[in-house]
Amino acid sequence: MPAAASDPVWGLLARVLDPEIPVLSIVDLGIVREVRREGDGRLRVAITPTYSGCPATEVIRKLVRSALDAGGYADAILEEALSPPWTSDWLTPAGREKLRAFGIAPPEETVTSPRQILRPPAVSCPRCGSRDTARVSEFGSTPCKAHYRCSACAEPFDYFKCL
């Protein structure tokens, strides 16, 4: 999704942090869908919420608007792109590594069927790497995460769900 790293708008958006997981930018998260210039020269930025009920969506919209305004793009058009829906596959490799370093296990598999959501996946502990882990709760610190515990190192951790 991101254009060249030298694009100043993508660079600006890469500094907008997710309010629920502040080690990730909205670019790391993969919710910046598009940045393009319209025929009249105006900038258009499309973002996709991680899911329809995400409580951070409005906060993210305001953060993006503030960043665009501060960056000299006050006339930019900011829109939500709802189709196709966001998927955890859109997390960047750097974003996945940032999650792991922060102590949150990143999604490990692509969801190809709704049935996958019903069974807890095998999850590697972000601290010791063991796959001897167990889901403690379907929900962690936010609805998009589940709470796990590692049997090897006994540490609790959140798992960013595959969506």
Average pLDDT of the chain? Answer: 90
What residues pair up with 34 in beta bridges, in sequence order?
Answer: 46
Predicted confidence at residue 2, as pLDDT, reads: 54
- Model pTM score: 0.85
Predicted confidence at residue 117, as pLDDT, reads: 64
Predicted confidence at residue 1, as pLDDT, reads: 46
Long-range CB pairs of 47-54 (<8 Å, 24+ gap) are: 47/78, 47/79, 47/80, 47/81, 48/80, 48/81, 48/82, 48/85, 48/86, 49/80, 49/82, 49/86, 50/86, 50/144, 50/163, 51/85, 51/86, 51/143, 51/144, 51/163, 53/143, 54/143, 54/144
The whole-number average pLDDT for the span 46-69 is 92
pLDDT at 16 over 60: yes
- Tens of pLDDT along 103-112? 999 998 776 6
The whole-number average pLDDT for the span 114-134 is 85
- Residue 53 — very low, low, confident or very high, per pLDDT cuts 50/70/90? confident
pLDDT at 6 over 70: no
Predicted confidence at residue 3, as pLDDT, reads: 53
